[in-house]
Amino acid sequence: MRITKKLIVAGIVSLAATGGAVYATSAYAAESAETAAPAVAPKVTAEQAIGIALKQVPGSWVSELDFDSRGQQADVWELELTKGTERHEVDVDAATGKVTQQQADQDDDDQNDDGDDGDDD
């Protein structure tokens, strides 16, 4: 009989501990949901941002597309375009569709590889 009482008491303590953990987790999740800013869809879609960027660099193709939510600053679509050996980075404002930044770099994968291995032979 004592073993049964011990098992019942142990079971109740275990349930109480589990219930407390579940309650704490749900309370934290509810608090986080209240403080988090609601997600707002960008006015400019990814397809529109691609079209805008391709007009900036005609003849290129999109090699990378990211949406950057910047909190207090304007959200932007960040695009990487490739045209030949040039790589262009274009930022498009997700609310207005205006190009906020454009930068071009040479794609120099060989790191100035002129075939010289440093040997004098």
pLDDT along the chain (121 residues), means of 10: 57 55 51 55 93 96 94 92 96 96 77 56 56
Write the CB contacts of 30 (distance below 8 Å, at least 6 apart in sequence): none
Residue 44 inside a domain? The answer is: no
Residue 32 inside a domain? The answer is: no
Residue 112 inside a domain? The answer is: no
Residue 75 inside a domain? The answer is: yes
pLDDT at residue 63, as a whole number: 95
Residue 53 inside a domain? The answer is: no
**Whole-model pTM?**
0.57
For 53-80, letters b (16+ CB in 10 Å) and e give bbeebeebebeebeeeeeeeebbbbbbb
Domain total in the chain: 1
Q: Domain range for residue 93?
A: 61-103
Residue 98 inside a domain? The answer is: yes
- State the Rg of the chain over Cα: 28
pLDDT at residue 8, as a whole number: 63
